[in-house]
Structure formats: structure tokens, C-alpha cells
Homo-oligomer: A and B are copies of this chain.
Amino acid sequence: MTQNTIDERIASSKTSIFKVVFPNTTNHYNTLFGGTAMHMMDEVAFITGTRFCRKSIVTISSSQIDFNKPIPADSIVELIGEVVEIGNTSMKVKVQVFRENMFDDMRDKCIEGLFTFVSVDENKKPVKIID
């Protein structure tokens, strides 16, 4: 695969998920649970990685993740996944989380994390990300 084709696959596998933060996913401080955010981040990373290589993949590592900007209930969040590094049988997907207020145009980035995946065959053996 040429670098051009890889760049095209990276662009076309960029994946976005919008969600409303409902009160039933928030803690007493009325902000999104860290674990809920991590769950959504792995989900978008998984879809991004699958769409890049079109193979079975499994998460083998998540980076340190900081939650310095709390996301209050009644925010809208957008999670964006993008492949940023391609190894032999593994790849890294960066996930950025943006929050928007529901009722005005405020938008800023609040979380970022890296997820590492390996691609595997039916016998659970690692296989090449790119054939």
C-alpha cells in the first residue's frame, strides 16, 4: 500500500460520534462519569480502527487520560477518532472529545486519549494491519 493510499484510508476512517450528556450518566457533581467517557472513547476508537484496516481488532492499551474540564449534564459531546500510528500488527488511534453547550455556541476540547489495537485472525493470532 502506498503512503497515499494510507493517507486516504486514515482520512476516510476518521470517525465521529455525537451524544447528549443526560443527567442519568452524571455523578453528584453533575458531570459525566470518567468511566462513561472512557467507554465512549474506546467505542469510537474501535470503530475508527476497524474502518481503517477492515479486520478484527482488540484494544491492548489505553494511555493516561486526564479529565481536567468536567462535562456537565446537558452538554453535547463529539468524539472524534483518528488513526495516528501504524505498526506491523498494531495501530494507535487518537480520540479527542469536544463539548458544546446545548443552548449556545460554546465548543471546546476537553479530553484526549490514545488507544492501541492489534488486529487478529480467527485463531486469535496477530495479523498484519495492512496486507
Residues of A within 8 A of B (CB): 15-20, 22-24, 27-29, 31, 33-36, 38-44, 46-47, 50-51, 54-68, 70, 74, 76, 100-105, 115, 120, 124
Contacting residues, chain B, for A41 (C-beta < 8 A)? 35
Counted per complex, copies of this chain come to: 6
Given contacts A58-B70, A61-B67, contact A24 B27 (CB under 8 A): no
Contact yes or no, A18 B44, CB < 8 A:
yes
Contact yes or no, A18 B38, CB < 8 A:
no
Of B24, B51, B100, which contacts A76 at CB under 8 A? B51
Contact yes or no, A62 B38, CB < 8 A:
yes
Contact yes or no, A43 B35, CB < 8 A:
yes
